Structure 1
Amino acid sequence: MSERSPAPGGLALVESLVNTLDIESGADSLDTADGRARLGLQEDDVPRARELRESLRATLLAHAGHLPHRPVTPLGELLASAPLHVTVDVADGSAALVPADVRPLLSRVAAAVAEALVAGTWTRLKACEAETCHWAYYDRSPAGRGRWCSMQVCGARAKMRRYRAKES
């Protein structure tokens, strides 16, 4: 679990959704009314939100150079059904993709991904390589080669395991 600052822009939503499940403890905030409310979800939205969450996690693992541990619905398939609209600001001519309906999580995630693609930040959102973690984090390292959500926790554990393996 990371102590890092949230991802920029719409990626904060993606990061927040992926991090609704604490793999190590098994706690899932989508099981609580407060956890659902933070994402604007109703109880009947949870199965689709979980499917989206795990598809996003697999994609974020790929951003970090890792394969998902189980098959998931490809993110592109899920996002293909997300209704988005192009808006154009008449004052400055800027354009943006926005959700057709702000409540559905899928459309908000699709808009966030599109925004991040344009900004060049999409591949900086990653999932921690620690198998008991896979927490989403925004890689702010200069070279974009971060591997863990936290050097103090997951990074330290991995380095200690490598050190102990060398000692054996």
Structure 2
Amino acid sequence: MKVTLGPARAGDECLSSNLLVGFVNTRVHGKQAEEQLTDGAAVAKWFQAVDAGDSADATDADAATARELRDALLGILRAHVGCDEGVAMVAESEAHLQRAALRFPVTTVVTAQGCELHPTGTGVDRSFSHLLSAVADLASRGAWRRVKVCKNDTCYTAFFDKTRNSSALYCSTTCSGQMATRAYRERKKECAAR
């Protein structure tokens, strides 16, 4: 899979956003009861299913690397919806992703039609490069901040924000409704306590 950087509307969902949302959603969260990246075989199976390189050689250490990369991405996506992790956690996530970019580089190929990102390396390293090229693709389209994680603390499902003004905080109207109900009950408790 090569990622082509080119004109697109910022709200357009694409292969890059689908890849990243799917990757972040491999962890246990409100709509996923089991960890999907448990070992090397599971990592190889997941990357094969999304056509992101041949990772048949993935080891259990690669599975740990995948989970760490996913956690760093999760930290950034939580910042995209204003979760309260604080500056330190975001800085830690950014630093981890910068180290990953050095370990799993992407090559830029410029053509008359535009610019393409080609993942480098072989095996599972190439699959990790696919993830980082997807981030670069979204950033070039102005859509990186649209990849988010649901702000509902019982959900935390990753999603692509398709709203016109990129203001979505929840993955669904169900989660939005739950949070509105919670906020209403909290306000009601506070009023009763006064």
TM-score range normalised by the length of the shorter chain: 0.7 to 0.9
Structure 2 partner of 1:3 = none
Aligned-partner Cα distance in 2 for 1:162–1:65: 17
Per-residue deviation, 1:84:
1.3
Q: Identify the match of residue 34 of structure 2 among 24, 27, 39.
A: 27
Cα distance, 1:35 vs structure 2: 6.4
2:160 corresponds in structure 1 to 138
Letter paired with 1:38? W
Query: Are residues 113 and 102 of structure 1, via their aligned partners in 2, closer, same or farther at CA, if it must alter by over 3 Å?
Result: farther
- The answer for the alignment partner of 2:186 in structure 1 is 165
TM-score by length of 1: 0.81
Unaligned runs of 5+ in 1: 1-5
TM-score, with normalisation over the residues of structure 2?
A: 0.72
> Hey, what's the Cα distance between the residues in 2 that align with 1:17 and 1:7?
15
Alignment correspondent of 2:85: 68
* Distance in structure 2 (CA, Å) of the matches to 1:37 and 1:22: 17
Cα distance in 2 between the residues matched to 1:46 and 1:165? 41
After superposition, give the CA deviation of every residue in 1:107-150 in whole Å (9 maximum; x if it has no partner): 11111111111111111101111222221110111111111111
Change (3 A) 1:78 1:95: same
Aligned counterparts of 1:102 and 1:16: Cα–Cα separation in 2: 22
The size of the alignment, in residue pairs, is 160
Q: CA deviation at 1:96?
A: 1.2
Distance 1:81 1:158, change over 3 A: same
Distance in 1 separating the partners of 2:135 and 2:153 = 25
Q: Distance in 2 between matches of 1:114 and 1:102?
A: 20
2:47 is the alignment partner of 1:39 = yes
Greater radius of gyration (CA): 2
2:140 is aligned to 118
More helix by share: 2
**Structure 1 residues 100 and 19: alpha-carbon distance in aligned structure 2, compared to 1, 3 A threshold:** same
Distance in 1 of aligned mates of 2:146 and 2:116: 21
Distance 1:22 1:132 in 2: 11
Query: Are the counterparts in 1 of residues 77 and 149 from structure 2 also a CA contact under 8 Å?
Result: yes
Match status 1:97 vs 2:104: no
SS at match of 2:155: coil
